[in-house]
Structure 1
C-alpha cells in the first residue's frame, strides 16, 4: 500500500540546498502560471467590458491556463518535479513520492508565488484586482466540492500516469502538455459553475489580494480529496508494491 511509504522526512531537509532550490522553482512556476492565467481574465474583462464570464471568456481562460500550466510544469520539472499545485504535492505525498517536510516547503512556495503574482497584477494594471473564486448562482458549496474532487482527480491521475509512473517510458515527454490540457478541459467543464480551480494556491492568491473568503474552503477541500484519491488509486492499482527506492522522491 502506498500509505506505508508515506514519509515525514527530517527537519534538516528543510535547510538542504536541493530542497530550497526546489521550493524556489515552485515559487517561480506558480508565479508564471497565476500571472498568465489570472492576467488573461483581467485582460479579457478590460477588452470586452467585463465579459470574462461569457462563453468566449471561458474559452479564453481555458486556453490561457492550459498554455501557462504547460510552461510552468516544464520549467520546474527538472528541479522540483513541476507540481505547481498544493493538491498535486498532496497527491504525491499520499503515494509516498515526496516527504511531508519537502511538501510543506512546496506549499509555502506555491502559496507565496500565487500571492505575489496577484500583487504584481494589481500593480501592473493600475489597481485592478484579480477576482476571487466564487460559486455561480444555483451552485451550492457541496455541489462545487464534488466538481473540484472530480476535476482534481482527473488532473492528479494524469500527473501520475504521465510523470510519476516508473513505467511511463516515452509518455513522460508529453507530461507537461497533458497536464495543461486536462486543466484546460476541466475549466471548460466546470468554469461556469465554480471557476474550476483544482488548485488551492490559484484560489488563495486572489482571495488574499481581494480579501474575499466566501466559500474559500471549497477550493481546498475538493482538490485535496480528489488528489488524495487519485494518488491512492493509481499508486495502489497501477504502480503496485514496488520498493521505495524504485520510486522518485523529489520529481513528484
Structure 2
C-alpha cells in the first residue's frame, strides 16, 4: 500500500522547497502562455474549428509540456499540473505539504500568463474550456478522467517507475506527446484540459465559471486513479519508500 508522505510545516520554508515552488510558478506560466496563446492564435486565424487549428494547438501543447518538464525536472519535478501533483502525492512521491504549495504555484502561474496574454493581444479573451454541443457534464467528466489517467499513467511508466527502461529525460518528451495526442482525441469534445490550472487561468480572466468544476473533478479523479493504480499494480518493490523530502526529481 502506498504510504502518503505528509511532511510538516517546516518544509514550506526550506530553500529547496522555495526554489521548487518558484519553479512551478515559472514553468506553469510558460506552459500556459504557449498553450493558451496557441489556442488564441488558432481561433483568430481559423475560428478555432478547423482540424489544422486543433492540430496546431495539440502540437504546441506537446512541445511546451515536454520542454517545460525537462527544464524543471531537476528543480521541482516539472509538474505544471495539480492533477500530476495529486497523482504523485497519492503514490508517496511528494509530500502533502509540498503538493499544496505546488498547486497554489501552478494556479498563480496560469493566472499571470492569461492576464498577460489578454494585455499583449489587445484585449482578446483567452478561450475557456467548455463542453461541445451535445456533450453532457457526465460525458465531459469521464472524458477528462480518461485523458488525465492516460497522462498520469505515462508519467509513472516513463518517469517514476524505478524499473522504467528509458531515460527520465526521454520520458518528458513522451509525456508531451501523450498530451498532444489527447488534445487531438478530446479537444473538440471536452476541451482536453487534463489540467485544472490550465483551465483556471482563462476562466478567471473571463470570469466565466460555467462548467468549470468539470475541469477540476475530471483531471483530479483521473490523476488520482492512475497514481494509485500504477503504484499498487505495476510498481515492483518490496516496500514503498517515498522520495526523500529534499528530492526535487521524479
Superposed displacement of residue 173, structure 1 = 2.9
Residues 144 and 218 in structure 1, CA contact (< 8 A), matched pair in contact too? yes
Map of 2:9 onto structure 1 = 11
Farther off after superposition, 17-26 or 165-174: 165-174
SS of the aligned residue for 2:19 comes to helix
Equivalenced residue count is 248
SS of the aligned residue for 1:170 comes to coil
Cα distance in 2 between the residues matched to 1:81 and 1:17: 15
Alignment of 1:196-207 (within 5 A): 196-207=192-203
1:233 aligns with 2:229: yes
Superposed displacement of residue 169, structure 1 = 4.4
Segments of 5+ residues of structure 2 without an aligned counterpart are: none
Segments of 5+ residues of structure 1 without an aligned counterpart are: none
Superposed displacement of residue 196, structure 1 = 0.3
CA shift in 2, pair 1:247/1:100, >3 Å: closer
CA shift in 2, pair 1:13/1:237, >3 Å: same
Alignment of 1:40-51 (within 5 A): 40-48=38-46, 51=47
Q: 1:161 aligns with which of 153, 157, 162?
A: 157
Cα distance in 2 between the residues matched to 1:143 and 1:44: 25
Map of 1:27 onto structure 2 = 25
Cα distance in 1 between the residues matched to 2:142 and 2:44: 32
CA deviation digits over 1:91-118, x for unaligned, max 9?
0010011111000010010000000000
CA shift in 2, pair 1:236/1:108, >3 Å: same
Alignment of 1:139-154 (within 5 A): 139-154=135-150
Farther off after superposition, 39-48 or 147-156: 39-48
CA deviation digits over 1:106-157, x for unaligned, max 9?
0010000000000110111111110111011000001000000000000000
Q: 1:131 aligns with which of 116, 127, 134?
A: 127
Cα distance in 2 between the residues matched to 1:134 and 1:237: 34
Cα distance in 2 between the residues matched to 1:251 and 1:243: 20
Instruction: Provide the TM-score with structure 2 as the length reference.
Output: 0.95
Q: 1:217 aligns with which of 199, 203, 213?
A: 213
Cα distance in 1 between the residues matched to 2:22 and 2:49: 33
Map of 2:166 onto structure 1 = 170
